[in-house]
A and B are shown apart, each in its own frame.
Chain A
Amino acid sequence: MSTLSELTARLATGAVQVVDLTHTLDPDFPVIVLPPEFGQCAPFRIEEISAYDHRGPAWKWNNISMGEHTGTHFDAPSHWISGRDVPNGAVDEIDPAMLVGPVVVIDCSEGTAGNDDFELTPQIILDWEARHGLIPAGSWVLMRTDWSKRSGAAYLNMKDDGPHSPGPTPEAIRLLVHEREIRGFGTECIGTDAGQGAHYTPPYPAHFTLHGAGRYGLQCLRNLDLLPPTGAVLIAPPLKIKGGTGSPLRVLALVEN
C-alpha cells in the first residue's frame, strides 16, 4: 500500500481525522481596526446575484467582497515592509509544497484565561520543548489561546489604548524563526502579534520577523484545542491572488487518532 492510499484508507475509517481550523466568513466577524485616517481592511460582504427568481430562474449565487486579511487568513511575506523584497513573497508565488506541512501547538490557554495581554516568551517555548521535543524545522507553530471561543466585543477586546490580546514577544518569535526555522506562526487572535504589539521593538515583532525571513502567518484560527501538541499535518493554501499579500482560506489539519 502506498503512503497516500494508506492515508486515504485511514481517513475513510476515521483513524485520521480532518479538523477544520476555520471561522465562517461572516459579515459580523471582526476585522483589524487601524486609526481611521489609514485605509481599513474591508469586512466580508455578500450580495445576492439571483436566487431562483426573476434575476436568474434556475440558479442562486452571490457576489462576495472582503480584504485579503479578513476572517481566518494567511499572511504572505509581502504583507510586511520587512518582507517586501523576499523572493516568492506573494501568495501566488509561494511554492505549493509550503502549503502542506507539519504543525506543533503550544498551549497557552491557561495563561491567557487570566491575562488578555499574555505573552508567549522563549521560556514557555523551551519548557514546551522539554516535554515534547525540539520544534522540527519547517513546522507551523500555532499558539493556542482559546481566544477563538470569544465573540463580539470580547474578541477584538478594543480599549481606549488599543486592542488587548495575547501574542509572542520579539525574543520568542526570533527564537522560532531564526533558531528553530519554523515555516510559519499561527494564532487564534486577529493578528499574529499581540493586541498591544505596536509597543514592542520592533513594533509588531511577529509580522516583522516572520515576513522579513520569508515565513508565513495564520490568524483567526479556531479548534486548536482539537490538535495534539505534535504530529498533526496542516493544510493551508491561500487563494492564488496575483501579487496578493494574503488571503482568506480554509485551514484544515489532519490528526491521527
Chain B
Amino acid sequence: MTEPLKSPPKKNPQLRTSAPTLPPTMRSRAAMGLTAAAAEGRFMLQVCADCGTVLYPARDACSRCLSTDLHWQEVSPKGRLLAETTVRTSTNLYFRERAPWRTGTVQLDVGPVIICHVHGDVERNGRVVLWNRLDRAGQGVLIAMPEQPTPNMEDDPQLRAMTSDPKHRRVLIADARSENAAAIARALKKAGAGQVFIGEAEAWRPNPMRAVLEDIPGVQILPLDVTDTRSVAELAGEIGGKVDILINNARFLRPGGALSRGDTVFAQQEMEVNYLGLMRLAQAFGPGMCARTADGVNSAVAWVNILSAHALVSLPELGGFSASQAAALSLSQSLRAEFRASGLRVMNVFIGPTEDDWHQPLPPPKVPPEALARDLVAGLQAGLEDVYCGDVARDLIERFRAGAKVLEREMTTGQG
C-alpha cells in the first residue's frame, strides 16, 4: 500500500521555492493522439483499420502491414508487468529531482509491449491496468496501476506528479454568489482539500448563499469582484501565494442574441465577467501560481474554468452569452500556452444548461450543482484538461467532433 500523504508543514520562509522543471516535451504529431486522449482521461491506442493490429508507440504506418489507415481507439488497458526497474538518478532535471522513479515494461492483453511509469503498488509480474495521464509537460504518458485499487493509491508520488489532486491543496473559488459554489466547496473538502477561499463580489448586496457557505468547515469568504481589476489584484496580493487550485466559476448570463436585445449592455457585462474576468484572474493569480508548481505537497497545480458547452457552438437563445463563452474558451487555450513552461494545468469543465434562474425556462436535462462539483473534482483527481459534464455537454462534443458545420446548422435551425 502507498504511504498516506501527510498534510504539509507550514512553509519555511527561509528556503527558496523550487523552480518548476518539466519532463521531456518532444512528441511526434502522431503521438499527440495519446495526449488528446489523456486530456479527457481516456485510454486510446492506434489501431490499424486494415489488419487490426494495436500499435504502440504511435507511428505513421502499421508496423505489421504498412497501412497508413490508423485510428485512435479505446482499447482494453489491461495487461501484465513483464519487467521493472527503479531509476535512481537521471540526466533529466525533472526526474533527477524526483528520483527514485519506478518504470517497467507491460505486455498489454491487446498486443503491444509498452515501456511506462509504474505505480509503487504494482507487484512483480502482476496484473496491471494502464492509465493514460498528462504529465507536467502536458503530454500523454502511461502509468501501470494495480488492477485492483490499493489503499491510498492516489498518494503515490509518481501518480500525484501527473494529477491535480486537491488533497491537502488550497483552493480559490471565484464567485460565492454562484449556485454551484457550495457544492464545489463541499466536494473539495470531501476530497481532502486544505483551505477553501471563496470570493464574494458586492458585499453591500445580500448574498443568499453566504450562510450555506459559512457552514462548511474550512471555508473562508473574501472580497473578490472579477469585473474590478483592483479587487482582483488586491486579493492576489493577499492570498496569491497560497492558491494551489483556482476555480473560476464567475458567470454572467442573460437570454438573447444580437437582434432580440437591441443593445450591447448585457453583452458587455457577459464579456466583463466571462472573458475579461478570466483575464483579470489570470493576470493577477497566474504568475504566482506558475512560480509555485514545484512547491512540495501543496504546490500550485491547476486552473479550472467552468464553461458552457455552447463555447463550442452557439445556442442562439443565449447567443450573446455563447459568444462570451467562446471568447473564454479561446483565452483558456492561450493560458495553456502561457502556463505550459510552469506545468500549471488548465482544466475546462464544459457544462450544458444548469439548474439555476437563467436556465429555468429551458427543458431538462440540466446539470445540478452537485453533478458539476463531482465531475470537477474527479477531473482534478485524474489531472484532466477537458471535462464534459452532463448529457448535453457530452452530446454536443460528440456532434461537434462528428461535424462542426452540421452541428452549427442544427443549432441555428432550432434542431439543437
A interface vs B, CB < 8 Å?
Answer: 27-28, 30, 33, 36-37, 39-40, 43, 45-48, 151-153, 155-156, 158-159
Report B-chain residues with C-beta under 8 Å of the C-beta of A151.
204
A-B contact pairs, 7 of them (CB 8 A): A27-B230, A27-B231, A28-B228, A28-B231, A30-B205, A36-B357, A46-B230
Please state if A153 and B230 are interface contacts (CB–CB under 8 Å).
no
A-B contact count (CB 8 A): 43
Task: Check A46/B206 contact, CB under 8 A, given A39-B263, A39-B265, A39-B266.
Answer: no
Task: Determine how close the nearest CB of chain B comes to the CB of A159; give it in whole angstroms.
Answer: 8
> Apart from A45-B227, A156-B204, A158-B206, what 11 extra A-B contacts exist at CB < 8 Å?
A27-B230, A28-B202, A28-B203, A30-B202, A36-B357, A39-B265, A39-B266, A48-B229, A152-B203, A156-B205, A159-B206
Secondary structure at chain B's binding surface: helix, strand, loop or mixed?
loop
Sorted nearest first, the 7 A-B pairs with minimum C-beta distance are A30-B204, A27-B228, A152-B204, A39-B265, A153-B204, A156-B204, A158-B206
Report A-chain residues with C-beta under 8 Å of the C-beta of B154.
none
With most chain A CB atoms within 10 A of its CB, the pick from B203, B204, B266, B269 is B204
B interface vs A, CB < 8 Å?
Answer: 202-206, 225, 227-231, 254, 263, 265-266, 269, 357
A36 to B203, CA, bound (A): 17
A36 to B252, CA, bound (A): 11
A28 to B228, CA, bound (A): 9
Report B-chain residues with C-beta under 8 Å of the C-beta of A46.
229-230
Please state if B205 and A33 are interface contacts (CB–CB under 8 Å).
yes
Task: Determine how close the nearest CB of chain B comes to the CB of A190; give it in whole angstroms.
Answer: 10
A156 to B231, CA, bound (A): 20
Which residue of A has the minimal Cβ distance to B227? A45
Report B-chain residues with C-beta under 8 Å of the C-beta of A33.
205
A39 to B270, CA, bound (A): 12
Task: Determine how close the nearest CB of chain A comes to the CB of B282; give it in whole angstroms.
Answer: 15
A40 to B206, CA, bound (A): 17
Task: Determine how close the nearest CB of chain A comes to the CB of B235; give it in whole angstroms.
Answer: 13
With most chain B CB atoms within 10 A of its CB, the pick from A28, A37, A43, A47 is A28
Report A-chain residues with C-beta under 8 Å of the C-beta of B265.
39-40
Task: Determine how close the nearest CB of chain B comes to the CB of A114; give it in whole angstroms.
Answer: 22
